[in-house]
Structure 1
């Protein structure tokens, strides 16, 4: 008698879905979601000196609004997009760099740290890491915020 089960009838833990890495070691499958790899990459990128913030202007603005509404921390995956296959991952990272930072050196350090963290934690081979520097943080950017905060709008 033949097995007439369809793929839809197979339990979710045994099917590969898009956005996840699936490995099989003989005793079961391990699935790693894109969001997991994005968080690992985001944390690793933030550890590098010269990285002021992550994400483009719109992503930072939306994140600030979300943080204000929920009272929570900003997402560690902000500014990170990943594509995860069965054995490999590709990562795109948007950063804001501190003024004075050697961008090429910072980018190389981010690539090394992200590659090391993702490969060590997931076992996936990182095939590429694209870094987009969308802005540069100037020293007087913070001073303007402090001046505005210290001045009262009402007298």
Structure 2
């Protein structure tokens, strides 16, 4: 048997062909894996910039819709390597350097393990800091300030 694998990039993503058949991995697969892996890290409040989070919030309100796991993630996928850009909102109080390190570690291990591509870089852009305000807590149910 010939176990030789040939890899090439197609418009749909990475195409791996062996003597037993072909496997195509779309760019969106890499985006979703990276998005899920980034969300698993404590200190990540949300992924995406302001506009993409607004669209995501609208999508979540539509009955029967699904969560966009690739929100805030963009990828470049080559034959054997990928580069990933992540936009996110961090929770207040989290050390951003530790957060970025944790995200990189989790995203790289998840993508390399699940897809088999080498992750050459993970660029992280902190778009905002989430601060839990009184409006977000249950304490805001008390009497209003103005009557």
TM-score normalised to the size of structure 2?
0.83
Give the structure 2 partner of residue 144 of structure 1. 135
Comparing both structures, which one devotes a greater share of its residues to helix? 1
Cα distance in 2, alignment partners of residues 31 and 21 from structure 1: 6
* More deviation, 77-86/18-27: 18-27
1:4-83 correspondence runs (5 A): 17-83=10-76
Does 1:103 pair with 2:96? yes
Runs (5+) with no aligned partner, structure 1: 1-14
Show the counterpart of 2:108: 115
Is the radius of gyration larger for structure 1 or structure 2? 1
Query: Which deviates further from its counterpart, 75-84 or 108-117?
Result: 75-84
Aligned pair count? 138
Greater strand percent: which structure?
A: 2
Q: Is contact 1:19-1:83 (8 Å) kept?
A: no
Q: Normalization by structure 1: what TM-score?
A: 0.79
Asked if the contact 1:95–1:133 (Cα under 8 Å) also holds between the matched residues in 2, the reply is yes
In structure 2, how many angstroms separate the alpha carbons of the residues matched to 1:105 and 1:139?
21
Superposition CA RMSD, Å:
2.4
